[in-house]
Structure 1
């Protein structure tokens, strides 16, 4: 905590982006944690890591230099990595979006496998969670089952669509395949949490 108490939080420079070591503040993690930050070996020693970095670097722009949307990036990344079977772990409120994504992936020659968050139809009370109407059946989100289902069918890549905060953590922890997030849940700002940050900055 000591060294990191300031660092990036209060930095006003773009020195790291420009590679300007002299302009980096004294508490810059590049300086005080150089054994970690300057270590290139993780990207050189593992073939999968190296390939992910190479493909990620190519992902933002198409062959004509035009920016790709996030969905277009997902398709490009999956194809370049040689991923075929794509798991889509979605919130039940985003079933239409999940099905549309599946159609896009299929059109691109990929194999989507969908898993709704309410898999298993487990009632809140069955895992000792409170609910407003104890007599009424209400199924709880089941991110562990979503991940384990994908593990069972051996997906190559998993995509999160709007899982609740916490549930996304459990899903990622359980997933054997690499996982990326396409939609992050924000009930106030239409799944766009950057609006919260913009509002705070604006005061």
Structure 2
């Protein structure tokens, strides 16, 4: 794994965006129960401050969600780590579909872990910004599209894993249909204040659903903007 900071000096950060601050964030994630060394190392390297507005850069490595515009947020680092860990825990997927690109941070973490990431975002401005960040960081294994995320990316299916970064009332049948026979889907489900993070794994005896804890996400919306 090539350190991102060797490609782009801006990723090194200064002061509250320095590598030392990133190290403290990762130490906090480990204390909170994140165990996968692959996830921890990627998040140690990846410059989260490049995925948010400069005015909020000093808060980039706090364990909190932050606004990114258009009524959307970048998830708190613990949630990004937990979802990434859950996705790769049983088997490292080769091809991953992400629903809800947002800032691009979760996608960038996945791109440093797996061979290929496909990401769908309904808000065009957010997708443009995310694509610019991917280019800046040299993340060439990401394909992205502007579309209704609830539809997935059927022409590229099946996917070894699917991750959803917004909460629907239930798991989307269209997304489950695009999961490979032995694949894994991680998604928040439920109304505001009652959301749970679910992991669905497909096995020989059907799908196994696991509850991974309470979460709080923006709602999964249809259409494009």
- With the shorter chain as reference, the TM-score category is 0.3 to 0.5
- Report the TM-score, using the length of structure 2 for normalisation: 0.34
Q: Indicate the structure with greater helix content.
A: 1
- Report the TM-score, using the length of structure 1 for normalisation: 0.37
Q: Indicate the structure with greater strand content.
A: 2
Larger radius of gyration: 1
